[in-house]
Structure 1
Amino acid sequence: MEQTMYELTLVNVTALLLAGVVAGFINTLAGGGSMLTLPALMLMGMPADVANATNRVGVVMQSLTGMQGFYREKRLEAPAMMAVVIPTLLGSLVGALAAAFLPEGVLKPVLLGSMVLMALVMIIKPSTVAPEPGTPVIPLHSKPSAWAGLFLAGVYGGFVQAGVGFMLIAALAGGLRYDLVRANALKVVCTACFSLLALGVFVWYDLVLWVPGMILAVGCMIGAHYSVRFAIQASQATLKWLLFVMVVLACGAAMLDSVG
């Protein structure tokens, strides 16, 4: 990588830490945290591709922290981990290969359409995405449409990553009927797998700036730690509305990006 200049001032470090804390919190509960961390990295002077690569350091570390927290609280469905990871990883491989030939803008309308649909469903019939307490979980092998949903989420995640958390929640909570706490626990497992693969690719191409990446990761880990604690204590109604707010905000950000 050519020498990339960036400013590591006290203000930038503080902003990066705070952005990481907020992003780690909302990514563990919903998604969309990169709306904060990517601009924070780019404001330091990084080009978009380097910021995108460096951002994955924080995503990996927050995901691992979230996994540990949900496992400690006995909310991570360990027997289901392999089942949900397989289709998402297969999809991410397809998405990563597609990214080598297609521009990123090809799938942006897919993300925007999916988030708008998810927001409408949560208004009209919220139980579709946020199951009522006590709803039985549907095994993945008995619902091919859920397998397809996880695969497509993987394709999108392998292609561009941003916003994939919403698609994973739709597949896990909407398709397999996990409550939002357990859906988020499995979501961070999938996200960790996506991000480790992506980070490996970015490291291979020497696009990661480790110092700002680790500063961001510290904030993301703090946010993820407290996010798990909040998720365990909060009601399903609170988690549902938090998810809805994040979906709406992400829709707005995607629309502004499209206009720009």
Structure 2
Amino acid sequence: MLDMELWFIALLLGTGFVAGIINTLAGGGSNLTLPALMVMGMPPDVANATNRVAVFLQGVAGSAGFYHNDRLPRHDIKAIVVPTLIGSVFGSLLASYAPPGLLKYMLLGAMLTMTVVMLVKPSVVAPPPDTVPYLVRERPSSFPILLLAGFYGGFVQAGVGFILIAAFAGSLRYDLVRANALKMFTTLFFTAIALAIFIYNDQVLWIPGLTLSIGTVLGAFGAVKFAIKAKPSTLKWFLFVMTLVGCIAALFSDL
């Protein structure tokens, strides 16, 4: 059922590459990779677990790229990472024993809200140049958003980038490049917890997962280079389009 034929290898590499770009610059790449894994015959829970291999390695590549280009803020990183880790533990445990469709409409509602906000008041998720970011302790409302992002990321992953950007750009007021850098870094941490739980429950298929990872890592490296050079308005419109696409994907997804 899961023989790695050339067609499947090409599918995983191609979707992985595109997903790596989308996840680094916005979010929702797992809406491509999860169906690609299920096309191979994987049940949703195994596809969800196997996908985390690619998400984790993509997070390593993206975080390293942003760090190398001095775009990864580190002064408040502990306060940012802790709530996402707490949420991811509970989300990952739930994902191992419950159908992931439970959060479908929560995700859809969050992305629809973000799409409307970006149309009506884009400065909310794209702060003006030279805006000084807040610390988590200065914006207590960011804590539950980070907690929710960690929970959802541990649960199913697809679309978690939108929630994280809402926290980093919308609440803490980081620019989109640094918000994406923080998104990749925090995703790396809570994905590690989720992946460990899925490995313990023997739900990961390594060969498809590592094949997919090659594509996502290459996509992440390319996207970081683009993000560093792109105009803020370009990143904002890319985020808007991917949020809209993510809404459509979430609406028709079985996840």
TM-score by length of 2: 0.95
Q: 1:41 aligns with which of 21, 37, 40?
A: 37
Q: 2:10, 2:89 → 1: CA distance?
A: 35
Deviation at 1:102, TM superposition (A): 5.5
- Asked if 1:141 is matched to 2:137, the reply is yes
Deviations 1:47-89 (A, max 9, x none): 2221111111100000000000000000001222212101111
Within 5 A, what are the aligned runs for 1:102-251? Answer: 103-251=99-247
Partner of 1:73: 69
Aligned length: 255
Residue number in structure 2 paired with 1:84: 80
CA distance in 2 between counterparts of 1:91 and 1:54 reads 20
Query: 1:7–1:45: 8 Å Cα contact kept in structure 2?
Result: no
What's the C-alpha RMSD, in Å, of the aligned pairs?
Answer: 1.6
- Indicate whether 1:14 and 2:24 are aligned: no
Query: How far is the alpha carbon of 1:257 from its aligned partner?
Result: 2.7
Give, in angstroms, the shift of residue 95 of structure 1: 2.7
- Supply the distance in 2 between the matched residues of 1:224 and 1:256 (Cα, whole angstroms): 26
Counterpart CA distance in 2 for 1:78 and 1:165 is: 19
Instruction: List alignment gaps of at least 5 residues for structure 1.
Output: none
Cα separation, partners in 2 of 1:200 and 1:15, compared to 1, 3 Å? same
**Residue 55 of structure 1 pairs with residue 51 of structure 2:** yes
Which of 228, 249, 254 does residue 253 from structure 1 map onto? 249
User: Normalized against structure 1, the TM-score is what?
Assistant: 0.93
Residue identity opposite 2:199 in structure 1? V
Give secondary structure in 1 for the equivalent of 2:253.
helix
Q: Does 1:27 align with 2:23?
A: yes
- Whole-Å Cα distance in 2 between the matches of residues 105 and 112 of structure 1? 11
Deviation at 1:105, TM superposition (A): 2.8
1:242 alignment partner AA: F
Q: CA 1:51–1:159 in 2, change beyond 3 Å: closer, same or farther?
A: closer
Distance 2:98 2:57 in 1: 29
Give the SS at the match of 1:133. coil
The one-letter amino acid paired with 1:220 is T
Q: Take 1:99 and 1:47, find their aligned partners in 2: how far apart are those partners?
A: 13
Contact 2:135 2:172 in 1 (8 A): yes
Residue 144 of structure 1 aligns to a residue whose secondary structure is coil
Aligned-partner Cα distance in 2 for 1:154–1:53: 16
Runs of 4+ in 1 over 3 A off after TM superposition: 96-103
Q: Which runs of 5+ in 2 are unaligned?
A: none
- Checking the alignment, whether the CA contact within 8 Å between 1:81 and 1:189 is kept in structure 2 is no
Structure 1 Cα separation of the partners of residues 238 and 115 of structure 2: 12
